[in-house]
Amino acid sequence: MNLVARMPELMARIFHLRGGKKLQTRDSRPQLGLVENFTHILGIDGDEAERMNRVLRFFFILHMDHGGGNLSTFSGKAVASGRASIYAAISSAMSALSGPLHGRANQSCLEFVKRIGTDDPDEIENFVRRELSSKRPIYGFGHGVLRAEDPRARLLIELGEEVCPEDPDFRTVKTLREVVPPILSEIPKISNPFPNVDIASGALLQSVGFRKPDYYTTFFGWSRVAGITAQILDERAARGGRGTPIYRPKYLAKNQPIRRLES
Q: Which residues form the catalytic set?
A: 102, 143, 198
What is the CA 23 to chain-centroid distance, rounded? 28
84-to-74, 77, 92, 239 alpha-carbon distances in Å = 14, 10, 10, 18
Instruction: Give the C-alpha separation, 33 to 17, whole Å.
Output: 22
Question: Who's near 23: CB < 8 A, 6+ residues apart?
Answer: 16
In whole angstroms, how far apart are CA 74 and each of 6, 193, 218, 242? 23, 25, 18, 20
- Cβ atoms of 203 and 153 within 8 Å: the answer is no
Q: Is 54 helix (H, G, I), strand (E, B) or coil?
A: helix
Cβ neighbours around 40 below 10 Å, total: 20
